[in-house]
Structure 1
């Protein structure tokens, strides 16, 4: 492979004086947990309004956001949750940790989002939730999923860990009338190192989740009258203060990413052997959590070697998610009564994508256009050397 100068990419996370001011504000208010301070309450109001939802509940991380959402939606032992087979493992583990069975279904080969027909075929009388994951900041087919939910009576839980600010035909995540969960882990589009949030379309489930996330204890309780079983999933005031600042610059960063993907995607498409991510255009405001592309036929071993070459050349590249059913963790508890091979046989697209897909960190799409041209040149050289 020819040696080229490494492109310059912005660091991540990004911060400025607004985060510093928020941290000092949280410090000096003298109350550092949500029940005494104001930062978490303010962040919840701002995040809910930004996404068009009536209610938001801030929690400790994105995995807990999914688990809490599933719990208040009635998921537990004896129930099933349909999840895409191509996703980060938290999507399935959140259900499995509640004693439910996670049922993986295939994804679309172009969008990498849940295959709605496959989800429909997996619905049983035990199905309690269908969980689309909005891969790389492009929403799954919310029209078809909404119809499936209406036809079956099974509610949707949007795993929106990649989809802060994204819109489907003009509708924000919180405007689809479903519960939705977000992550603020260090690599996400807005971050406090860790953190999560759940959007609720109704007061009943929001209040139920508030109790569950605060050890089952009502806000005004002074006598330890815990009403339900719960856990401590409360976000602290410092994290909320940072996230308020992060939210303020989110949309501007996303618009930059949209412009840069319009440059990088055609450059990738010109490289022999590469197929860029081809999402559904009905996501008319994508958030571009990742810049993804496939190298069909490369095989997992060569794909991993290609990622290593890109990293060595200064590109923030990563192998795509492993199919969740090809991890030991998936089979520890709450797995379907099938073998790995049986699940794989009905998930051919997931099998292929897991072996040939690469993603670039979203800070790549905050770089100058010249850096994107160098990135494409380096990728072309690396692919040619496989």
Structure 2
């Protein structure tokens, strides 16, 4: 959250009460039963238990994929997908400049070079045109992010990737259960990587998963995620390089419970997001993330807003976030472009400067400076509460604009 160094209330504009919004994470007796089921197995790692395997089967089916593999984080999922494709030092991977740093970090963690490209001003996902602009003979992968649950243009990106001789890897950390062109994203012929970190749409505190289009890539990933050791091995046969990225049985059990309520929550979020879209049409100076009609199911990981650059500054955006948090509306500043983090420059990079990347990625620059997001739990609130949230945001925007 932004650092609060000014008033965080608006006279005459009361915020929400501390208990008016649904809690996150959510849990009930389903999770308690699942944890006891895992506990009573007597084996708490995937090699001896059943929860992780059952979760993988259920998650694959839910996302339209033939195979799924559970791992211990979304970042580990991205790294594993890159390793399955043999991507490493000397290779380049195109990533959106506007994303959480794990997207570029995973590339650097395998020794490859992330190449930031710009995103669309409307849905804020990586565009085919941006990939074409930065692609090179060294491009081995294109890694779009389904930002806030909005699915990137997979058919067009797949075509561009193939033209570069590269593979497509989906960063679907925000997009559990998303559909595009009438099909779940796990059915696309590419690996998709998901996150179950505490803020995600379904969570075990931490965790991740991959879905696969074919058995060969799944089996390779399975070996790599368990130190190169095959199933049932009792003689320490390590058949390939790898890491320990296994998910434990307690996380698998909790995620099975979480997934059981995700379809219903996704429908509620869809309805509330449509209501929010309509309400924010009447708030001057604010732009919402737009929707591509080809995206049939958007699970709405968060609700994105961007301030008008002609009327607001980054300081105004930061003050707006502080005002909202002070009025119990869960808000946060947007991700900065990945190249504006110190850590980005501590791994492999192109021979370019921050200024050159900023010129290449003007939309990511604007979103990073003027964008914010509202936590997806607001989209589980009752319609009247959603209307109040929009009114509070509108009052806060007006207050910032008045004093800006």
1:150-208 per-position Cα deviation (integer Å, ceiling 9, x unaligned): 33331110000000111002110111110000000000000000000011111111111
The aligned residue for residue 210 of structure 2 is 198
Distance (Å, rounded) in 1 between the aligned partners of 2:348 and 2:264:
41
Whether 2:51 is the aligned partner of 1:39: answer: yes
Displacement after TM superposition at 1:143 (Å)? 2.2
The aligned residue for residue 395 of structure 2 is 381
User: What 5-or-longer segments of structure 1 have no aligned partner?
Assistant: none
Return the TM-score normalized by structure 1: 0.98
Displacement after TM superposition at 1:32 (Å)? 0.4
The aligned residue for residue 318 of structure 1 is 332
Q: Give the one of 120, 133, 139 matched to 1:127.
A: 139
Distance (Å, rounded) in 2 between the aligned partners of 1:110 and 1:354:
14
The aligned residue for residue 119 of structure 2 is 107
Secondary structure of the corresponding residue to residue 385 of structure 1? helix
Contact 1:218 1:226 in 2 (8 A): yes
RMSD: 1.0
Q: Give the one of 8, 11, 25 matched to 1:13.
A: 25
Displacement after TM superposition at 1:213 (Å)? 0.6
Displacement after TM superposition at 1:51 (Å)? 0.7
User: What 5-or-longer segments of structure 2 have no aligned partner?
Assistant: 1-9
Secondary structure of the corresponding residue to residue 12 of structure 1? coil
Contact 1:74 1:128 in 2 (8 A): no
Comparing 81-90 with 137-146, which one deviates more in the overlay?
Answer: 137-146
Spell out the pairing of 1:76-115 with structure 2 (5 A cutoff).
76-115=88-127
Secondary structure of the corresponding residue to residue 10 of structure 1? coil
Distance (Å, rounded) in 2 between the aligned partners of 1:17 and 1:247:
14
The aligned residue for residue 5 of structure 2 is none
Whether 2:14 is the aligned partner of 1:4: answer: yes
Q: Give the one of 78, 92, 96 matched to 1:66.
A: 78
Secondary structure of the corresponding residue to residue 110 of structure 2? coil
Q: Give the one of 158, 161, 166 matched to 1:146.
A: 158
Whether 2:379 is the aligned partner of 1:349: answer: no
Spell out the pairing of 1:206-245 with structure 2 (5 A cutoff).
206-245=218-257
Distance (Å, rounded) in 1 between the aligned partners of 2:271 and 2:23:
19
The aligned residue for residue 262 of structure 2 is 250
Distance (Å, rounded) in 1 between the aligned partners of 2:282 and 2:128:
31
1:306-336 per-position Cα deviation (integer Å, ceiling 9, x unaligned): 1000000110011011110101011101111
The aligned residue for residue 7 of structure 2 is none
Contact 1:267 1:376 in 2 (8 A): yes
Secondary structure of the corresponding residue to residue 81 of structure 2? helix
Spell out the pairing of 1:252-291 with structure 2 (5 A cutoff).
252-291=264-303
Displacement after TM superposition at 1:301 (Å)? 1.6
Contact 2:127 2:157 in 1 (8 A): no
The aligned residue for residue 368 of structure 1 is 382
Displacement after TM superposition at 1:300 (Å)? 1.5
Distance (Å, rounded) in 2 between the aligned partners of 1:312 and 1:245:
33
How many pairs does the alignment contain? 386
Secondary structure of the corresponding residue to residue 377 of structure 2? helix
Return the TM-score normalized by structure 2: 0.94
Contact 1:325 1:340 in 2 (8 A): yes
The aligned residue for residue 3 of structure 2 is none
The aligned residue for residue 174 of structure 1 is 186
1:3-38 per-position Cα deviation (integer Å, ceiling 9, x unaligned): 314162100011111111111110111110000100
The aligned residue for residue 56 of structure 1 is 68
Whether 2:346 is the aligned partner of 1:332: answer: yes
